[in-house]
């Protein structure tokens, strides 16, 4: 059981880090495209929304592990 919790935590951290890096890249790309007045902004906005899903999944997995630890200490 403890190994599964560690895998959830590691997977959550990987999703969180990947989503954060990818969203940062997307935001920078949108700023550059707006300043250069190029098309294709909608593609980057969709990409940023997709990255937010990765960030939220990572946070959910980390929170799930933390809540499990809190329940274990109360018993």
With a pLDDT cut of 70, the percent of the chain lying above it is: 68
Name, of 14-18, 25-29, 46-50, 63-67, the range with top average pLDDT: 14-18
pTM of the entire structure?
Answer: 0.63
pLDDT higher than 60, residue 74: no
Asked if residues 63 and 8 have their Cβ atoms less than 8 Å apart, the reply is no
Q: What are phi and psi of 74, to 5 degrees?
A: -80, -25
* Site of tokens 């929170």: 63
pLDDT band at residue 2 using 50, 70 and 90 as cut-offs:
low
Asked if residues 18 and 54 have their Cβ atoms less than 8 Å apart, the reply is yes
Domain ranges of the chain: 2-67
**Alpha carbons 58 and 75: distance in angstroms, whole number:** 27
What pLDDT is recorded for position 9? 81
What pLDDT is recorded for position 62? 82
């Amino acid at each position: 059981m403890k190994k599964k919790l560690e895998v959830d935590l590691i997977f959550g951290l990987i999703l969180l880090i990947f989503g954060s890096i990818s969203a940062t890249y997307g935001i920078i790309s949108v700023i550059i495209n707006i300043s250069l007045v190029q098309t294709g902004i909608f593609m980057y906005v969709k990409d940023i929304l997709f990255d937010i899903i990765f960030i939220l999944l990572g946070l959910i997995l980390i929170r799930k592990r933390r809540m499990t630890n809190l329940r274990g200490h109360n018993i």
